[in-house]
Every structure is written in structure tokens, then in C-alpha cells.
Structure 1
Amino acid sequence: MSKHLLIQLKIMKFNLSITLTLLVFIGSHVALSQKRGKKGKSTSSDMLNMTFERLQEDEEVSELGSITLLDNGVFSPTENAADLFQKGAGSVAGIPNNAFGSEESDVDGGKLYAGFVAYRPGRESSLRSYITIPFIKGKNNVSLSKGLKYCVQFKVSLAESSKYACNNIGAYFTKEAPSSKSGIINAPENLIRGKNNRIHQGFFGWDQVCEIYTAKGDEKFITIGNFDKNDNTRWIPVKKPKTAEVETLKHSYYYIDNVTVKQIDSDEDCKCVVNSQSANTEEYSTLIYTKAIHIEESMTTAERVDAQELFFGFGKKDLTPNSKESLKYIAGILKSDPATSIEIHGHSDSQEESLGATKEEFSDMGMVRANYAKRYFLANGIDESRITVKSHRDTEISREIAPSVDDEELKAAKSRRVEFKLN
């Protein structure tokens, strides 16, 4: 090989080495720039994961209106402050029992959650409360990225002190921290509400609020509450469970937990509650209907038993505290009169029936629930010969359904039930 050719090969090798090094540098620089994003912007997928578990150092909840004890700048933007509840905080601000009712945290092992007033009637309509949470990474307040989609989710539970349940519970995104002297925050834009903006009326367990938000690019705060005036808010009266020991107040009061905001690439990445009758999804409604049982002195024993109803979560047979009270009440009647017998009638909703055709775990939920109630009576000494069970599947409409008021999810929740007949 000639000396001239060797020189040319060395030059080519040197140029190739420089080129490869430059490409690696450029690629690393681009990747780093993408990771950092624009100044003040966050490109992390998890923008917020608020479980209300982080208090400021050396702070403990001891009274209502203590939302500002939380770390990371959480506050209430109106004079009527939101509340914070903590295990071991006593009968006023404790968990599970407090001044407004009883509820466990939605977080496994959780010790705190918050609460706010979403509706008051009449002259007290402005006495609402809200919870504002800044988007913080490290010690810096950051904003959402323009044009990106975010999955917004949080859980609410209606407190037993509530005389009303309402809709319009949502999340408002702002550049500046909101405030209002009137007590009602006006949200003309940048507002999301849950699917179908339904009335949240479940006393026990947590109900999901979920929707997708497309960012304008300067949002640094999320505020949660009801941003509509009373004239534009749908509400219904509710009656507290008979097991509740708190006073009924003229408000809609909701506990709140597990607030998350996560950047997503497609709508399918946001696991919102599905209200459609699709059988191709693994996400179902979390709503459990609750009602107060009214017993009058003029009622016969059979009528008192007929007034008892059990309601269930989607695809579930688990008993709520109210359901256990009803079963205990009926068992007492059966024990006091051995000549009586009981019919247990189980029901399901149409989506459960549809899924039951292909998925064993949803098969004939009416019978599953009726048999679960039967097991309770057997365990309490009622002879099996006195118990009859029957499944009606989804063929009978619940007497609780109000066709002109209830949305589809609430109708389904009222359909998932067990009824009784004393003979």
C-alpha cells in the first residue's frame, strides 16, 4: 500500500470519528433540552399527586379550616376556608369520624384527607369553600405545557351532614392564584368537570371525578370546588343514613382525596369512569347509591321489611354500613317470630348483564347478591328452610329511579340492589 493512500485513509478515519462524536453530542444535547423543557415548564408526566398526607413540619390538625397546614402552598382562596381531617384529631376534625360524618381515607394507610362546601341555598349561597393547589417541582412553581393533554382525577365522598347533593364539582386551572370576596370563584374558562357532570350523592366510599384537560400553557394552579352560581347548579335533597350521628346541615359537603394531574399522549391513557354500556373496558363506575330508610309507627312488620334495600358497587357484593344495618334489622324480626319466612330478591344493572355473557365474574350478579344476603341470615341462626332467593337480573326497574332527574350512571347504581319480602 502506497504512503499517499495510507495518509488518505487516516484522514477519512479522523473525519468519521469527529462526525460520530458530534452526532452523539447533538443527540445528548437535544435529549437534555427536551427533558428540561422551556424555562418554568414541566415535561414530567406526573404534574400533581396530592394525597393530602404531607403536613408542614411539626403541625397537627386540631380544628376545622386547617387546609393551610398542608405543605407545598395549598390554601383556600375564599374567606370560608376548606377543612383538613386527620386520624387521631378528635371528633371534630378526625378520621374516620368528624363533625360532618364518617369516611376512611381513599389512600391505603392514609391518615389525612380534605373537605369543602360545594353548595348552600338561599342567603348562604356564597359560603362555599375551595382548595387551591400549586404545581410544584422541587421548590419551584411550574406550569402546564401548551397544547399537551392532562388526565385530571380526584375522589369525592358526600358527608352525612349534607342535606343536599349537587353537580358542578370541577377543577379550575389558572396562571395566578384565584381569590374572591363574594365567596364564589368565577371560572369562565379553563374548567373541567367529571363525565356527564352528574350529581355526586354517595355517602360511603369514594366517587371518581375524571376528565381530560388541554393546557393553554401558563397554568400554575388547580382549584377544586363548584364554580357555578346556584341558579346553574343541579341539586337534590338527600337524607342521612340512620347510622349517622352528625347533625344535618343545609349544605352539600364533600370529602376529597387523591388529586392527580398527569400528562398523557392519548385519550385512552386517561382511565376515567366509563358510563357507556361498552363491554370492552376494564374501568367501571364506582358509584354506590345510598338512601335513608324511613320507618313509621303505622307500618306493619311486612312493610318495614319491604322498606329495607341493599345497594352495591358495580360487579360487587360487598355490604355498606347501611346494608349491614338493614340485614341486622331483618334478622331481628325473623328471630322474634319463627313462623315468618323471607324472600330475597337480587337485581343487577344492564352493563353487568352484558358483561356476564362473556365474563364469569359478572355472571348473574342478582343471584350473587341475593345469596350473599342469605349467607348473612344463615350465619345469624336463621334456618335455611325459611329463606328463598331469586334473581331478577336487570328486568325490573328500581322504585328509586327518577327518570327525568337521574343520569344513566345513577340509574344503574339504583338498579344494583337486593329487596326483601316478609311472609
Structure 2
Amino acid sequence: MKKLFTVIPLVAISLFSFGQDENENLVENGSFESVKGKVRRLGQIEAAEGWTAATGAGADLFVGDSKMPDVMTPENVMGTEEPKDGINYAGIISFSYGDKQERNYITTKFTEPLKKGERYRVEFYCSLSDLSKYATNKLAAHISKKEPGSDEKLNSLVFEENLVLHPKEEVFNGMFGWDKVCGEYVAKGGEKYLTIGNFTNTADVKNERIRKPQDVKGKQIIAAYYYIDEVSVRLLEEDEVCECNYEKAPKQVSQLVFQTAPLITNEMTSAEKVSAQNVYYAYGKSTVTPAGVSSLKAVVAEMKNNPSAKLIITGHIDGTELEASTEEEEMKDLGKKRAEFARTLLVSLGVPANQIEIVDAKANTESSLIEEGDPDDLRMAKNRRISFEMVQ
């Protein structure tokens, strides 16, 4: 009897220890930080432990400690982006105009199979590269029992089931910062693999043509190329809600983003050059467009020429955003959020944080570019902005 009592608890402990923990990420190398060997060129996704390309078209890995400029982070042959987590990330083509270039897919095996009927939170982050001529929607995670794909260079893998996409299936056109793809997946039982890419027929994929930022060197590719980082699949508890914490999509009063190139002359002072820059936004948004990135980099250049100067960033909203902020939580302090996000980007580009001050002007100051004949839509677009002031 004594022997029986010593064995049963050990069995119970063993069963408990190998159960799926809701906090455990079933993607072992979700941020591509564990790398075997040296990454010297594009197409080396297999250097990331546990990851492979799902087709013969391959996929890319960018690493912070590479000595080869093409595959480094944050700057590489496809553009510049700080990793979402750690120092590495992957890269894939998700769309090509006229299907002239094959799409890429990356696959990993779960640490253990998914359990039938259990719910899982699936999440990854993407960022459009600077040299993409297009942006697209339909980036997704596909979950399967068998490893998908082929060694051949296929134009695309198409699946209609077992997909996790952004709930609004919006076009991911942000070149600075990371967009989240997140959702709940109910397991059929025995799924072992996760693959990331675009699994939708081209005819059903939305795309936008992207203008290359003025200060970005290199030729655009006729494709939508995305960096991928921080991939996770986690078990949800029985009554747990799958909280993806998306910025709730506000009512789209206006889709217009105002854009203009400031007139800069050699006779202008650094302070005048900085004041000439503005970053403009879509309704309810705080993410920065490629044109906005160019303005931020112009500000950085002047700040580096004046290392003792202070920078004041003022966030502005339009009247409709102000009205919405009284009812919608995500719209509150939107001008401040715009300025704070810009500050984060400026710091990442080399401006010391202690030299930057944030001001929230709300909707109190109209843009000086508003003209008498401007329609309401254009007036609002000109007001959705951040402005800059250099103080010596």
C-alpha cells in the first residue's frame, strides 16, 4: 500500500505538468530570436529555429547582429523598421501586382498539438516595408494538422478555412510601426502547424498603391512586402474572452489624408524649416503615413544640426473627432496620442527624449493652410495633424 501511495501523486503531477498552460506560447520561437548559423542573404528563414518556408519561393529573415546590410535590422534592403520584439524579424511578399512575383509563407510547428474544442488566441504583427509599391489586406495565420505547401515556387497557397485575419480585413499600409493581426481559433483537434501569409485569391484581395517616401533610397518592388514579428498562440481559459485590444475602428467620417510638400529654401533657418513640417492623419488615426515619415526625418535632420535645441510637438484634431471623443473612449486625447507616437518615432531616429515636449491643442487651432473655398472634408483633413516648433 505504501508503494501505491507514492506512485499515484507522481502520475497526477506528471499529467498536470504536461497540460497546456493558458500563458504558454505554443510558438516556441515567435520573435525569431533563436537563430542557427549566420544570416548572410535573403531567403534564409530556415536559420530561425523552428521556422521554414512553406513553398519553394522561400522567405526572409532579418537579424540585428548580421554583418550583411541586406539582412540587418532595423535597416535592410527592404527599408527600415525597428523590431517589435527583440532584434530580429521575418519578411514575406503577400501580394504582387499581376501575380508577377510569388507570395511567401512562413511555417512553424506548435510545441504540442491543439486540443479539440479548446479556444486559442492567435496573434502576430506586421509592418509594410519602405520599398513596397503596394499595400494589401488578407494577411492571415493558417492552422493545420499537416505541414502545408510545396517545394515548388507556387504563386500562392489558397485556403478558405482555419484562418485568423484582422476582424475588419483592413489594408495594412503603415510603414512605421506595427499592425496587429489577432483572433480566436477553436481547435478541431490535432492541429500542429501555423503558417503566415496571404491565402486568398488575388481577385478577392484589396490593394493600395503606395508612394515611396522621398528620403528612401532604392527601387520599389511591385509587391506588398511585410515584416513579421512576435507570433503567438495561447490557450484561453474556459470563460476567458479573447481580448485582442485592437484600437476600436471609429466611425469613418472622412477617409481623406491631406498631403503637401513644404516649401523649403536655403535661406530659411532651422527653426523655420521645422515649423514648415506637418504630419497629417486619417480620421481617428494616430499612425504615420509614408509622407509623414518623410516629414519626421526632415525634423530629425534639423534637430541633429542643433543638438541643444528643444522640440515642441503639438497634436491637433478636427471638430468631428472632438465631438466623438465625448462618447468614444478610444477617441479621447487623440491629438496627444498623435504627438506621443511621433515622439516615439523621433526618439527611435536619434532625437533625445528629454528634448521633446508634447502639447495637446485638441481642436482649438485651425491649420494655416485652410482656404475659404475648401470643402468640409478637406478642411477637416488639414486640421488632423501634428505641428512642430524648434526652440533654441
Distance 1:356 1:364, change over 3 A: farther
TM-score (norm 1): 0.65
Gaps of 5+ in 2: 304-313, 347-359, 368-375
Gaps of 5+ in 1: 1-17, 137-141, 279-288, 332-343, 377-388, 402-410
Which among 68, 75, 79 is matched to residue 52 of structure 2?
A: 75
Q: Aligned pair 1:130/2:105, yes or no?
A: yes
Residue in 1 that maps onto 2:117: 147
Q: Distance in 1 between matches of 2:215 and 2:87?
A: 23
Q: Aligned pair 1:104/2:82, yes or no?
A: yes
Which among 160, 163, 167 is matched to residue 191 of structure 1?
A: 163
- For the pair shown, the structure with the greater C-alpha radius of gyration is 1
Distance apart, 1:157 and its partner CA:
0.6
Distance apart, 1:34 and its partner CA:
5.0
Residue in 2 that maps onto 1:272: 245
Distance 1:173 1:259, change over 3 A: same
Q: Distance in 1 between matches of 2:193 and 2:226?
A: 21
Aligned residues of 2:174 and 2:287 also touching (Cα < 8 A): no
Distance apart, 1:346 and its partner CA:
1.8
Number of residue pairs the alignment of both structures matches: 337
Distance apart, 1:162 and its partner CA:
0.3
Q: Aligned pair 1:202/2:174, yes or no?
A: yes
Distance 1:238 1:357, change over 3 A: same
Q: Aligned pair 1:91/2:91, yes or no?
A: no
Q: Distance in 2 between matches of 1:53 and 1:213?
A: 25
* Partner SS for 1:92: helix
Q: Distance in 2 between matches of 1:135 and 1:394?
A: 53
Residue in 2 that maps onto 1:417: 385
Aligned residues of 1:171 and 1:192 also touching (Cα < 8 A): yes
Q: Distance in 2 between matches of 1:277 and 1:267?
A: 25
Distance apart, 1:194 and its partner CA:
1.4
Distance apart, 1:207 and its partner CA:
1.1
Distance apart, 1:77 and its partner CA:
1.1
Alignment of 1:271-290 (within 5 A): 271-276=244-249
Q: Distance in 1 between matches of 2:379 and 2:190?
A: 45
Which among 34, 37, 50 is matched to residue 54 of structure 1?
A: 34
Alignment of 1:399-418 (within 5 A): 399=378, 417-418=385-386
Q: Distance in 2 between matches of 1:77 and 1:368?
A: 38
Note the alpha carbon deviations across 1:206-242, whole angstroms, 9 max, x for none: 1111111111112100000000121010001011222
* Partner SS for 1:252: strand
Distance apart, 1:188 and its partner CA:
2.5
TM-score (norm 2): 0.70
Aligned residues of 2:316 and 2:365 also touching (Cα < 8 A): no
Quote the sequence identity (%).
25
Distance 1:276 1:36, change over 3 A: same
Aligned residues of 2:259 and 2:280 also touching (Cα < 8 A): no
Distance apart, 1:53 and its partner CA:
0.2
Q: Distance in 2 between matches of 1:124 and 1:395?
A: 45
Aligned residues of 1:311 and 1:416 also touching (Cα < 8 A): yes
* Partner SS for 1:246: coil
Distance 1:393 1:83, change over 3 A: farther
Aligned residues of 1:345 and 1:392 also touching (Cα < 8 A): no
Structure with the higher helix share, 1 or 2: 1
Note the alpha carbon deviations across 1:318-356, whole angstroms, 9 max, x for none: xx743423547999xxxxxxxxxxxx8821697786567
Q: What RMSD, in angstroms, separates the aligned Cα atoms of the two structures?
A: 4.8
Note the alpha carbon deviations across 1:37-87, whole angstroms, 9 max, x for none: 5xxxx556422251100012xx01110000001113x10011111100012
Distance 1:112 1:367, change over 3 A: closer
